[in-house]
Structure 1
Amino acid sequence: MDEIKDQNLVSVITPTYNSETYIRDTIESVREQTYPHWEMIIVDDGSTDNTISIIEKYQNEDNRIRLIPLKKNQGAAVARNKAMKNAQGRYIAFLDSDDQWLPEKLERQLLFMNQHDYAFSYTKYLEVHSDDQHNKVVTIPDSVEYNDLLKNCVIGCLTVILDRNKIDKIEMVNIRARQDYALWLNLTRRGFKAFGLQETLAKYRVRHNSISSNKIKMAKQNWKVYREVEKLSLSKSVWYFMHYAYFKLRKYIV
């Protein structure tokens, strides 16, 4: 297990790439947390815009913010893993550079985890669209296990907190997309049940030019996770992919 230097510290894991439009809001949402014991490790994945200069200004203002620049673009998995290797806190929390947390996110979720002795938790979140007309709260089940997640990933990466005192190895597989989903599968396959806090504590920005907004690409990535990461048989992959397609279709129809 990596060394944990502070048992009360939350290490916020934030990969960035050309995020100058949104990174201020993301950082401010962490600085506004009612729970003050955090460090924000931002790994810049070779940005070519003003992202780094914006982060450096915040770093100079708040010593809880740490910037690690990568020389070339290597993908979100590499950036997140780099941040986690440099994390000093007991807790790992994920927040991408275009998303935000509500002020009580860390306080409420840590209380939830500590009261019930959970290692892996997630929450509801708000999907925010650019027109502000189609925003909606994403609902969640009270808990999920491995087979549940194979059918439908109900866990938003921006809501997850993991307890490193209980989970020995936390590392994302190096794939182009769905590396967070692959990590949730890895953890639940290892026996760490994920528990949902029924509170809306984060805002997910829906960007129509992102990888996750391209339905065909996402379907291909999900198939890749089944076959190449989880090593499922063809028949099992087809079975779970049918569930994946059903839940996606139902979501878009609704």
Structure 2
Amino acid sequence: MEPLVSIVTPCYNSAAFITETLDAVVAQRYTNWELIVVDDRSADETCDIVEAFASRHPRVRLVALKENGGVSNARNIGLAEAKGKYIAFLDSDDIWLEDKLSRQVSYMEKELLPLTFCAYNRIDEQGKIISGQIPVPRTVNYNALLAHNVVIFSTSMMLKSAIGDIKFSRAGHEDWIFLLQLLKKCGQGYGINQPLVYYRVRQNSVSSNKLKAIGYTWKIFRESEGINFFRSAILLGRYAVSASLKRLR
């Protein structure tokens, strides 16, 4: 029997994009999945949209939080609810291509891998593709990911047993910190250099705010990972260069 994949989608005021994201999950060729949507006390119609969708698709479940606790809290709750062998995180404005789950599960089952991720294309808020394929390396370890975060979180899939007791911290770039902690445990992640995800770039996101992103990155180096000032400065320079090159693609 095909292993169960638990998909965790945190959302907050995602009414403009959530239907397209949910449709992409239902359209997957791989069929043994559960989708846990954790709504972080949205003020728009997100909950109503997901609830109506879940009434038509029993593998979709809404967890509606009574208080806003941030994306890290929402992901931790979704992770605790997950029953699958594998965990896949999908942000509420990103879109999977139909072969995304099948390609990753097949690769991970065959090679007994703890973490995979894939190439992607960037889209804008209207869904228009605004980049060519963003490639990924064949493998990545802790030091490589520290120097350059090549993993867009919505492209990742990980073995739940490899995650263990790792939790999302309340910090900027919490997904990057989570992956760094995972690689400390499992050694390597494995890339699929095939674009299987549309990653949406939004004007008000942390990743689009360069100064804020740099500030969060510096905190990761200095506070989360405890790296000395000199090496942190070198890593931050590399981060700035790689981020600039990525936007040129």
TM-score, normalised via structure 1 length? 0.93
Shift of residue 133, structure 1, vs aligned partner: 6.0
Which residue of the partner structure matches residue 28 of structure 1?
A: 23
Distance in 1 (CA, whole Å) between partners of 2:4 and 2:139 is 25
Mapped pair 1:235 → 2:233: no
Please say which of residues 182-191 and 91-100 is displaced more in the overlay: 182-191
Which residue of the partner structure matches residue 69 of structure 2?
A: 74
C-alpha spacing 1:85/1:236, structure 2 compared with 1 (3 Å):
same
Give yes or no for contact 2:114–2:186 (8 Å, CA) kept in 1: no
Give the letter for the 1:142 counterpart. R
- Match of 1:66, SS state, is strand
What is the CA deviation profile of residues 222-253 of structure 1, one whole-angstrom value per residue up to 9, with x for unaligned ones?
11111111111212211211211221233345
Distance in 2 (CA, whole Å) between partners of 1:21 and 1:155 is 25
Which residue of the partner structure matches residue 15 of structure 1?
A: 10
Distance in 2 (CA, whole Å) between partners of 1:139 and 1:201 is 11
Which residue of the partner structure matches residue 190 of structure 1?
A: 185
Distance in 2 (CA, whole Å) between partners of 1:61 and 1:9 is 20
Equivalent runs, 1:65-214 vs 2, <5 Å: 65-130=60-125, 132=128, 134-175=130-171, 177-214=172-209
Distance in 1 (CA, whole Å) between partners of 2:133 and 2:92 is 20
Which residue of the partner structure matches residue 63 of structure 1?
A: 58
- Match of 1:15, SS state, is strand
Give yes or no for contact 1:146–1:188 (8 Å, CA) kept in 2: yes
Which residue of the partner structure matches residue 54 of structure 1?
A: 49
Which residue of the partner structure matches residue 220 of structure 1?
A: 215
Distance in 2 (CA, whole Å) between partners of 1:30 and 1:133 is 19
Q: Percent identity?
A: 35
Give yes or no for contact 2:162–2:185 (8 Å, CA) kept in 1: no
Residue correspondences, number: 248
Give yes or no for contact 1:129–1:135 (8 Å, CA) kept in 2: no
Shift of residue 56, structure 1, vs aligned partner: 0.4
- Match of 1:28, SS state, is helix
Distance in 2 (CA, whole Å) between partners of 1:97 and 1:217 is 21
Give the letter for the 2:155 counterpart. T
- Match of 1:89, SS state, is coil
Distance in 1 (CA, whole Å) between partners of 2:232 and 2:27 is 43
Give the letter for the 1:208 counterpart. Q
Give yes or no for contact 1:120–1:192 (8 Å, CA) kept in 2: no
Runs of 4+ with >4 A deviation: none
Gap runs ≥5 in structure 1: 1-5
Distance in 2 (CA, whole Å) between partners of 1:162 and 1:117 is 11
Please say which of residues 106-115 and 188-197 is displaced more in the overlay: 188-197
CA RMSD of aligned residues (A): 1.6
Shift of residue 130, structure 1, vs aligned partner: 4.1
C-alpha spacing 1:108/1:199, structure 2 compared with 1 (3 Å):
same
Shift of residue 180, structure 1, vs aligned partner: 0.5
Shift of residue 191, structure 1, vs aligned partner: 3.7
Distance in 2 (CA, whole Å) between partners of 1:154 and 1:232 is 20
Shift of residue 217, structure 1, vs aligned partner: 0.4
Give the letter for the 1:193 counterpart. Q
Give yes or no for contact 1:7–1:90 (8 Å, CA) kept in 2: no
Give the letter for the 2:133 counterpart. V
Distance in 1 (CA, whole Å) between partners of 2:22 and 2:201 is 18
What is the CA deviation profile of residues 28-61 of structure 1, one whole-angstrom value per residue up to 9, with x for unaligned ones?
1000111111110010011010000000001111
- Match of 1:121, SS state, is strand
Which residue of the partner structure matches residue 3 of structure 1?
A: none
Distance in 1 (CA, whole Å) between partners of 2:96 and 2:129 is 20
